[in-house]
Amino acid sequence: MLELIANIVADRTNLSESSIYNNLLNRERLGSTGLGQGFAVPHARVDDLDKTIGCFFRLKQAVNFESPDNRPVDLVFTIIIPEEATEEHLMILSSLASIFSREEICDAIRNAASKDEIAQIIQSAEQ
């Protein structure tokens, strides 16, 4: 999963795939970023990045993320953050944890028919 994320982010930025992957993997080694409810938020700080990058994935097949509730993960929101963006990093993680801890939000996303509908659900939940 982390390799796929690194590949997609590298394709959309000037960052190297190996750098993204290694940073994601190093963060995951500190402890699982699986939060429960089938949701994970793998994230990494990266040098030479001037803005935060977010990628959302709804997986067809859930994967083991060693989440605290032992539930496999099918919703993944990855954030790649500039090295110095500490406060922004914490605010984003807090917001995502709050949104995706709500079972009704996760269920609505799982049942959404399009990426636009998913984006709308997430945006509505933020407010």
Scanning the chain, the segments in alpha helix (DSSP H) are 2-12, 17-30, 86-100, 103-111, 115-126
What pLDDT is recorded for position 1?
87
What pLDDT is recorded for position 90?
85
What pLDDT is recorded for position 40?
96
Looking at 19-116, which runs of residues are DSSP E strands? Answer: 34-36, 39-40, 43-46, 53-63, 73-82
* Catalytic sites, residue numbers: 43
| Contact criterion met (CB below 8 Å) for 10 and 16 | yes
What pLDDT is recorded for position 127?
78
Q: Would you write out the chain's pLDDT as a tens digit for each of its 127 residues? A: 899 999 998 998 888 999 999 999 999 999 999 999 999 999 998 888 888 999 999 999 999 999 999 999 999 999 999 888 778 778 888 999 999 999 999 999 999 999 999 999 999 998 7
Domains of the chain by range and CATH?
2-126 (3.40.930.10)
